Amino acid sequence: MKARLTDLSIGMDGKQRITLVLCGDFREQYDALKEHDLSVEIKRFRRRRSLDANAYAWVLIDKLAQATGVRKDEVYREAIRNIGGASDTVCVPTKAVAKLRESWRRNGMGWQTEILPSKLEGCTNVVLYYGSSVYDTKQMSDLINLLVQDCRELGIETLPPRELEALEAQWR
């Protein structure tokens, strides 16, 4: 949910308190959660990527596939693995790795996994890559810039820099 921080104070008990102004209706969630300990993540808001951004990414992916002979899904999946901030690494019991990987893949074409060894006995590290369907505008911009760079290296025509900047400005 989108919100704005409006206050940070320290109570008589020495505990910090924050005040948020929410841009949505939280009453129903509040009633269900008010008696429980919560896990909270507060981060800078970014709009989700636009459909125009997604369409342009697939135009570039198609051009790269034509030029290289690599299937479009593989071009896309390779690009996904190179976007910073679009993956998490989790340590899971080794016996659960296959089930986690299969479940993760069901989210879509870009939702991939990679296995890395763990220092913990009986555990395996799994890198979980998120597909572009959940990218924010920064991640989508990074994906498109990566695809544009790959296209330019192969002499493939892309939008001129000024038009690309204008398109990126619309995403923000």
d(CA 165, CA 170): 9
Put simply, whether the predicted model's pTM sits higher than 0.85 gets the answer no
The 8-class DSSP code of residue 50 comes to P
**Cα separations in angstroms, 107 against 39, 58, 70, 136:** 24, 18, 23, 17
Per-residue pLDDT tens over the stretch 124-152: 999 999 999 898 888 988 999 999 999 99
Per-residue pLDDT tens over the stretch 18-77: 988 888 888 888 888 888 888 887 877 655 555 577 888 999 999 999 999 999 999 999
